[in-house]
Chains A and B, each alone.
Chain A
Amino acid sequence: MPDPLVAQAAADLFPNGVSRYAVGGLLVGLGAVVIYVGTGIAAGASTFLESTLSYVSGQSRFQRYVSSRDWRVVFTLGIILGGAAFAATVQSGVITTSLYQPGTTGRTYELAGVTLWLTDVQPWRLFVGGVLVGIGTRIGKGCTSGHGVCGVGSASKTSLVGVATFLTVAIGTAQVVAALGVSP
């Protein structure tokens, strides 16, 4: 029988349990591993932004990604369709597992028998945040997958410092925004 104090602490820190997070995280890592084992590439998601811009922009900065831009498009399409596969199966209730908790955030809607999901976070937050994410990951050489998954997995000091930096700043920012009463 679990200690009631421990159970209470777990309920406070992890109100949605940990299984969906842990299983999802293992799958994210597995996706990166499949690519690494086959190709030796430690993939990150944010370089797609610059490499894809090389199709439409002649700026010299984007041309260095020309050789990798095709597979980065394939990788990103895979991520989008992977999310769609999740929506068509687990999110739609076609596959049920005790490891998955549905959650109550945002709104769901139906399209062609598939349960889809919409965020309630306001468009201006997504847009302004997106601009800063686009600038920041490119200056900082990586994002949550490049630095956070592949870099930390490589025990790269640069990536560990990068993750510590963006995690700390993000926590501070989210706290300030919440304190200002911006919701959702």
Chain B
Amino acid sequence: MIGKNSLFGPIDPAVESGYTEPPSRKGFFTDTSICIGCKACEVACKEWNEVPEDGFAMLGMSYDNTGALGADTWRHVAFIEQPGGREGRTGTPPSATVELGMPGPPPPTSSEGAVATDEKPDFRWLMSSDVCKHCTHAACLDVCPTGSLFRTEFGTVVVQPDVCNGCGYCVPACPYGVIERRKGPDGTKNVGVAQKCTLCYDRLKVDQKPACAQACPTESIQFGDVDELRERARTRVDALHEAGIMDARLYGDDPEDGVGGAGAFFLLLDEPEVYGLPPDPVVTTKDLPHMFNRASTAAAALLAGAVVAFLGRRG
């Protein structure tokens, strides 16, 4: 069925894909304000989904040595170290923080020598576990020429590795830079094939939580029905605002946004681009009808030009 919102706008993705009476849409609400950067989600995901290791390089930028989502990274914890004094940042008032015994910066020293004080350093550390957004309007799924990417009954987007022919078109199509073609090493499964988070489709089938949500020790990663998660997220943001943490905002929860709302959305404490997320992503296929018209006009112009070229002298 092709309807008004088939390419853009709020819609129920499973129903749009032709499921009759699908189960409620499933997704993640990742509350980064309580992420402790332990990477249990990264590890659990790799273990459960048999995602191969992709090297142990040190990126030399923070505690994040994974870098970004990709074929061999379906959950990625970002670490952002922010010195104070950023304009427009209200920051977390010291009273609102809870000591977790995590490693942190040393206490500030006075000019006479090391004197610990009760004052918190003007510094904060943001951590956020990123994942495939399972968009309502998923560009990767739209542009896949084989039907390898499909919409599940849970409203999520999954690759069928035995159908994918490795054309790589989904890779530049994703507005978040999530999906990627697996490069190797030789001997691992699905080399040359597009890979990304499946929201643990196999576990969902048997009423289990996805591995990352199961492993998260702080409930930063919450799994459930998208409608209910959106409610929960709004309640949480309001609570944070009341606590004076005005930086808190939701990302990807709005069905009116450029991808029709994400199935995996986030509570962030800074601008999305600080976490490596696009601030206002729009599914590329929104403009596809327009592109089709322009290309048809161009094709007609080429034919007309050829006709005109043969109307004159021959030599």
Does A associate with B in a complex? no
